[in-house]
Chains A and B, each alone.
Chain A
C-alpha cells in the first residue's frame, strides 16, 4: 500500500461547455475512490419552466441534452399533451418518430466517435462519425433552421411540415448509413487494439445497474431487456418491427456494441415509418393557448436513457412544477462503483462508454 494521491480530473476552465470534475483518489495508477463534482452548468431549468408558458419552455429543452434536442422537445411536448389532453394528428406522430430516430442515430454516432477517441484512436473514427452525423444535421437544418438547438416539436404537432423531397434524402441517408456501419465494424468493433482496451473493462452487473436505476443502452448492455419503445409504447412505436439490442457481460465493449446495433434498429424504424406516413396537417400553431389542471408524468426513451417530465398544473398558463428526470444523471452516478480498482486509463474508457452529456446532468 503506497501513499494515496488525489488527482483532479477536472475542468480546464469553468466556462468551457460540458464540464465534469472527477476527484480521483489514487494508489499509484489504481483508482481507489472517485467523487464526481457537478454543478458547473447549472441553469435552473426546472425553475425556468415554472415562469414560462408551456410553449415558451420548448426552446429550453433543447439545452438539456444538446446532442439529442429533438428527443427532448418530444419528451416535453408529449408530457404537456398528456397533461392537457391535446390531440395530435397521425402525420405529426409519424414525423415525430422519424425525427426522434434520426436524432438517436446522430447521438449514437457521436457517442461511438468520442468513445473511440477516449480510447486513443485519435480523431479518425470521430471524423467518420461526425461526417455521417453532418448529413442528419443538414437535414434538420432544412427542417427547422438550426443545427443544434432544433426547437422543432410543438405542443400538438410540429412547427412546420417537412419540405418536399425530404423523404428521398432520408432514404438515401439510410442506404449510405448501412454501408458506413460495415466500415465502423471493420474499423472498431473487431479491432484487436479496441477489444483489448474495452473488453471486460468496467463490468456493470444486472443487479447494480437496476439498483442505480441506470437506463438506456447502458442498462441493456448489462443484459436487461428494457426499452420504453417496446415495453411502454408512446407515439406509434407499437406499429413498427424492431429488436431490442441487449449485451451479455455489461462491459465497455458491450455498451459500445449495443449503441452500434441500435443505430441499425433505428434505421429500420425510419425505413418503415417513411413508407407509412399518412397525409394530413402536422403543423401546430404557436398562438394556441394552453391551460389546465392536473398532473402528468411521461417518460420517453432518449438516446441516453429514460427522460421523464413530471408536470403539475394549477390552471395557469404555466406549469406549477416541472421535474425533469434526466438519464445521464443516473448513468453518471454508477461511475464511482465501476472504476474502483481500475487504472486511470481504464477509468477514461468507462467514462467514455457511459456517454454522459453534462447539459442534462446539471440542468
Chain B
C-alpha cells in the first residue's frame, strides 16, 4: 500500500492514544469494524469513498475515541477534585499574591524607587505570580486526576464547619459607621493640617503636623479619594448591592490607599519633623510611626482582597 487511506490515517490517530500493548489488537479490531461498516454502507448503495468517510465521521474525534478506549478522563479536573482545586487555588491566590505585592512595595519604597516604578513592578509581579499559581496548581490537579491511586485520596474532607459566615447585618452596620467616622477624621486631619496648627515658625507660617511633601507631591489626592471611595463601597456593601466587579474595584482602591501610606512611611514623609521640634516631642516617634504605618498598609492589602470577595457571597 503506497498511499494511506482515510481509514489508515484514522486508525493510526486512534491507536496513538492508547497504551503500546493494546495497539496491535485494537488496530486490527478497529479496522475490521470500520470495514464492516463501510461494506454495509456500500451494500446500501453508497459510493466507496463516501461510505468510508461517513463510517469514520460516525466514530468521531480520534482523541475522544482513544480516551474512551484507554479509560482516560475527557476533562482536566473532574467533579471528584474540582472542589479541592478551587478551594486551594482561592486560598493560595488571596494569601500569596497580596503578600508578594506588599513585600515588593515595601522593598521598593525602602530602596527609594520612584512611585511609578514601585507600583508598576508590584502590579506586574503580582499578576505573574497569580498566573503562575493558577497554572501550577491546575497542572498538579490534572496530574492527580490522571493517576488513579492519588485521585482516590481526597485532599480535604468537607465538613459543615467550613461554611463561611452569613450576613450579620448588625456587624456590617457597625463596621460601616466606624469606617465612615474614621474616614471623616482622617480627611479632616489631612485637609486642615496645612492651615491649622498650634505652632508657627519664625516667619509666622503654620507648622503642619503632617509632612508638607504630602501636598507638594500630590499624593494627597490618593489619601483623600481612597477614604471617600471606601465609604461609598461600604454603603453599597451594606445595601447588598455587592458584586464581583465592585469587590475587585474596592480591592484595587484599598490597595492603592495602602500603597500610598506604605510609601509615606517608607520614605519618611508622613510626619513633619519641624512640628515635633516645635512641640518638643521626641523625633523617635516619627520613625516608630513610619514602621507602624508600613505594617498597617501591608496588612490592609492582605485582608482587603479577602474581605471584599467574601462580602460578595454575603450580599
Q: Do A and B bind each other?
A: no
Chain B interface (Cβ within 8 Å of chain A)?
none
